[in-house]
Structure 1
Amino acid sequence: MTDRVAIVTGAAQGIGRGIAHRLDALGHRLVLLDRDAGALTEAAATLSRPATAIDLDVADPDAVSEAIGRVARDHGRIDILINNAGISPAHGGRSVAVEDIALDEWDRVMAVNLTGSFLTCRAVLPVMKAGGWGRIVNFSSMGGRMRSLLSGAHYAATKAGIIGFTRVLAGQVARDGITANCIAPGRIDTPQSRSFGGDETFLAQLPAGRLGAVEDIAGGVEYLVSDAAAYVTGTVLDINGGHYMP
């Protein structure tokens, strides 16, 4: 079935924007959420049909509740939630030492990456349960699966936490016709990843011999939100070119 209502957080650029384009091409009705209002409007304008764009900080509980309520009222349903929004503070492209992480930075990363996913999931679940169908895809990271020279402890903790959260959620909602899964991307060719540098050294160790493309991640999302993945829940889909093989 196409024409489902799909919410994508962090949809203004990079992976989120690529996912929005893939879901749009599949015929779904898109709701794009992001803090960058200008880039969000631009992203919505590139889709093949009108999309709802909501300027939103996913760490704001009241704003999340209001936005999800608006989507439910306007569309009468919510079928797909893609929790892509996340931040990873830049420290010269290197992992910052634990003792050098300021508490306010720690709290902000937790609020956006982990609490934000919890808030959006909590808000959409009553609507999905009422419809008897739902697909939730949360975003972990290779940084939450293994030690990384790029990820700080706060980022890694949130991405590992997403996995545990998703598994518990999946078990609770499976009989409501809802699946919940994670995607854990490796290094994907986006403006943010390019800012880290060191591509030549990294590529020399990577079995695939190339950075991942946004389309690689969008393909994983396409599968997980499809009817073909109805029996897939509580899993982590690692898309990393073979860099991490659990």
Structure 2
Amino acid sequence: MELQDKTALVTGAGGGIGRAVVTALAAEGAQVIALDRDADALDALCADVGPNCSAAVADLSDGPGLQALAADLLGKHGRIDILVNNAGILTPHKLAGITLEDWHALMSVNLDAAMLLTQAVVPGMKDAGWGRVINMASYAWKSGGLTAGTAYSVSKAALVGLTYSTARELTGTGITANAIAPAYVVSPMIMNQLSDEDRARQLAAIPVGRFCEPEEVAHTVRFLASPLAGFMTGLTIDMNGGLQFG
């Protein structure tokens, strides 16, 4: 119960990775605010997790609305100790097919929301002298995207840049900022976007011979959130089953 006096905010909590992260942090004693746009998914999640889980419904593409919600949450909870920017949307469109409208819509969720929430919670973390910012990147950030589209790959590369910039700026404050870059996690967002042929091809290319499980990603989040990870900041932890080393 390393996190029993901490409050965590997890975005994209209704998805496969998000559910696993909320469950893992709550199991360590954290009070977890599960944020998603799907109210029914949040209700089911909090019913499963129990009293350590509370729901916050929000559209992450609405920047001003998200800022207002963050202010409300901070007013209610005092501060957010652990921020997990997990939410993301995926598009398969490559360079020639992406429109500016689609680009902006994806960036608003995958990148802008992470910046706005980090901006909102950092002052309280500074006051406490302790905090964890954990951003969910993707193997796509350095592979250029295999089945993911251009905008998604760029958004995840930018999220890594935000992670590094945040870590550098906050060095010495007791706040760490790190990213996790999974590849092909067993979740609806990934599995539903891949054809049978894509799944077979990618599975054959992964040296460990399987896709990543959401609980494995959640375990890495739990580690980065723990007090014993305080010497680790400005890192991107690869979880790609040996697809790429270094």
TM-score range, shorter chain: over 0.9
- Contact 2:83/2:134 (8 A) holds in 1: yes
Tell me the residue number matched to 1:45. Answer: 47
Q: Structure 1, residues 172-213: CA drift from partner, whole Å, max 9, x if none?
A: 112111000000111011122222133222222211111100
Tell me the residue number matched to 2:62. Answer: 60
1:211 counterpart = 2:211:
yes
Tell me, what secondary structure is at the counterpart of 1:99? coil
Q: Structure 1, residues 111-132: CA drift from partner, whole Å, max 9, x if none?
A: 1101111011001111111111
TM-score, normalising length: structure 1: 0.94
- Contact 2:89/2:109 (8 A) holds in 1: yes
Distance in 1, matches of 2:38 and 2:178, equals 26
Q: Higher mean Cα deviation, 138-147 or 79-88? A: 138-147
Q: Higher mean Cα deviation, 60-69 or 97-106? A: 60-69
Tell me the residue number matched to 2:151. Answer: 154
Quick one: which amino acid aligns to residue 130 of structure 1?
D
Displacement of 1:148 in angstroms is 2.5
Tell me the residue number matched to 2:242. Answer: 242
Unaligned 5+ segments in structure 1 are 90-94
Displacement of 1:57 in angstroms is 1.7
Tell me the residue number matched to 1:69. Answer: 71
2:184 aligns with one of 187, 192, 195: 187
After superposition, residues 1-246 of structure 1 pair within 5 angstroms as 1-3=2-4, 4-89=6-91, 95-195=92-192, 196-197=194-195, 198-246=198-246
Tell me the residue number matched to 1:92. Answer: none
How many equivalent residue pairs? 241
- Contact 2:133/2:178 (8 A) holds in 1: yes
Distance in 2, matches of 1:73 and 1:159, equals 30
- Contact 1:11/1:40 (8 A) holds in 2: yes
Tell me, what secondary structure is at the counterpart of 1:188? coil
Distance in 1, matches of 2:50 and 2:43, equals 14
CA RMSD of aligned residues (A): 1.3
Unaligned 5+ segments in structure 2 are none
Q: Structure 1, residues 144-164: CA drift from partner, whole Å, max 9, x if none?
A: 111322111111110000111
Identical aligned residues as a percent: 37
Distance in 2, matches of 1:103 and 1:165, equals 22
Runs of 4+ in 1 over 6 A off after TM superposition: none
Quick one: which amino acid aligns to residue 64 of structure 2?
D
Distance in 2, matches of 1:128 and 1:60, equals 24
- Contact 2:30/2:52 (8 A) holds in 1: no
Displacement of 1:50 in angstroms is 4.3
